[in-house]
Chain A
């Protein structure tokens, strides 16, 4: 088996070089949903809403009330794992819609959101840290108008 020495050394070198290169890549961090929550809470208060929140393992749900309008805002993950849970909480308030990259959408464009999320995650490994576009889920009560919910969520966040 002495003839295994040379191939072993070559393999060990290849493994060291390639894994060493990977080791200098960064661990892509989980999206910071606290940033989203703080930003939205700020916006709600600035517009005169009284704000309460509900913190659960599945996420933070912000509730705003102003006059007749009652709404709920939360961030939804790129994979859509929280969609059904968010729907359940939304039902207590009213119909749910989404806001992504500053635009209102009735359904979340899953493929596009996921692709951007994955591309950004791989880029962060390499070094550059482009901003992320969070997906906001907003449920509005019967007393709310479209103007009430415009611009409630940030279209970009640093992480």
Chain B
């Protein structure tokens, strides 16, 4: 049972305070912020409050922009769809989950309400588009990490196998090294391309849904290109680490890490904007 955005019923108060869109927008934000709180607490512990703010609480700037985009879709677009009883039950569940001290539970609730909203909202409606953005956000805040935790070895070995095939380096499990090289790299969960891929998908989802880009071959190819770009930069990064111990230090801890982050960010944003240029640069 779906609802489409409908005209305000005659005589309805223009200041209808709680509509379906607003309720879900609030729930999405509440669940997302609580799902991200684990990383935030760690950031405050490691960097202090000021440092954590500067580091955006170790949450990608892409995710922050996606949160803003999703909230704008649900709170700025006018809608008059009334709240249903099931929506209130879900709201209670999200609030309860948010009160628990375990951030992952909020991540699960974000996925649940995102799926429910996406399914019950009208095609192309602001609520469905916002739901898709927040589902992508739940992917990076929770499910990417779950994948890495449950399938650590297969994921890391796949990362390593790609590296050994493309960079022509030796591989044993998740250890890669150049023949005769002085550095062996252990591809750990922090180095996995999963992190970059999940953020690239958030970028793609946010741009496509905010600008109402249809899901067609072009947009799917754009997503693929963005994912491949993150993997290519990650691979180049680790390839550089294998060159020498000095390069390993620069790339892992020094300015090389910053450069690779910026290159990835610019590439992914440019690819997603280019793929959606028809809708993004259309006259507003």
Would A and B touch once assembled, by the CB under 8 A criterion? yes
Assess whether A88 is interfacial by the CB under 8 Å rule. yes
Q: Which residues of A contact B18 (CB under 8 A)?
A: 7
The interface on chain A, measured as residues whose beta carbon lies within 8 A of the other chain's beta carbons, has a size of: 34
- Does B15 belong to the interface (CB within 8 Å)? yes
Residue of B nearest to A29 (CB): B45
Neighbouring B residues of A58 by C-beta, 8 Å:
186
CA distance A3 to B99 in the complex (A): 27
Nearest CB in chain A to that of B183: its residue: A57
B103 touches A10 (CB 8 A): no
Given A6-B17, A81-B152, A88-B175, A14 contacting B22 (CB threshold 8 A): no
Residue among A11, A22, A84 making CB contact with B29, cutoff 8 Å: A11
* Pair A88/B41 contact, Cβ less than 8 Å: no
In the complex the two chains form, what is the Cα distance from A61 to B226 in whole Å? 40
A7-B26 in contact (CB<8A): yes
| Size bracket of the B interface | 35 or more
A15 sits at the interface (CB 8 A): yes
Docked Cα-Cα span, A62 to B14, in Å, equals 73
The reply on B172 being an interface residue by CB < 8 A is: yes
- B33, B99, B156: the one contacting A81 at CB < 8 Å is B156
Tell whether A126 is near chain B: CB-to-CB under 8 Å: yes
Return chain B residues, CB-CB under 8 Å to A10. Answer: 26
Which residues B76-126 have CB closer than 8 A to chain A?
Answer: 95, 98-99, 101-103
- Chain A, residue nearest B248 (CB): A57
Tell whether B278 is near chain A: CB-to-CB under 8 Å: no
Instruction: Among A4, A82, A122, point to the contact of B102 (Cβ < 8 A).
Output: A122
**A125 vs B95: C-alpha distance in the bound complex, in angstroms?**
20
Q: Which residue of A lies closest to B22 (CB)?
A: A7
Shortest Cβ distance from A131 into chain B, in angstroms?
A: 21
A125/B153 contact (C-beta < 8 A), A3-B17, A18-B30, A79-B189 known? no
A4 to B173, CA, bound (A): 54
Q: Count of A-B contacts with CB under 8 A?
A: 90
Taken together as a complex, chains A and B put the C-alpha atoms of A114 and B17 apart, in Å, by: 46
Which residue from A22, A26, A57 sits with its C-beta under 8 Å from B34? Answer: A22
Q: Quick one: CB contact mask for A16-57 with B, threshold 8 Å, 1 for yes? A: 011101110111000000000000000000000000000001
| Nearest residue, chain B, Cβ from A23 | B41
Query: Main SS of the interface on chain B?
Result: helix
| Contact residue among A15, A18, A84 (Cβ-Cβ distance under 8 Å from B173) | A84
Cβ of A103 under 8 Å from chain B: no
Report yes or no: B34 in contact with A19, Cβ–Cβ below 8 A. Answer: yes
Does A150 touch B at the CB level, under 8 Å? no
Nearest chain B CB to A61 CB, angstrom units: 13
Q: Mark A116-139, 1 if CB is under 8 A from B, else 0.
A: 001000100110000000000000
A64 to B55, CA, bound (A): 43
- Whether B37 is near chain A, meaning CB under 8 Å from some CB there, is yes
A15-B29, A81-B156 given; A22·B149 CB < 8 A: no
B75 sits at the interface (CB 8 A): yes
Q: What are the nearest 6 A-B pairs in CB distance?
A: A84-B173, A27-B45, A3-B15, A18-B98, A22-B37, A11-B26
Which residues does B use to contact A, with CB under 8 Å?
14-18, 22, 26, 29-30, 33-34, 37-38, 40-42, 44-46, 75, 95, 98-99, 101-103, 149, 152-153, 156, 172-175, 184, 186, 188-189
- 10 residue pairs A–B, Cβ–Cβ below 8 Å: A3-B16, A18-B34, A18-B98, A22-B38, A58-B186, A81-B188, A85-B184, A88-B175, A88-B184, A125-B101
- Apart from the given pairs A18-B95, A83-B173, A88-B184, 20 other A-B contacts in the complex at a CB distance below 8 Å: A3-B16, A3-B17, A6-B17, A7-B26, A11-B26, A11-B29, A14-B30, A14-B95, A17-B99, A22-B38, A23-B41, A27-B41, A58-B186, A79-B152, A84-B174, A84-B186, A87-B173, A88-B172, A125-B41, A125-B102
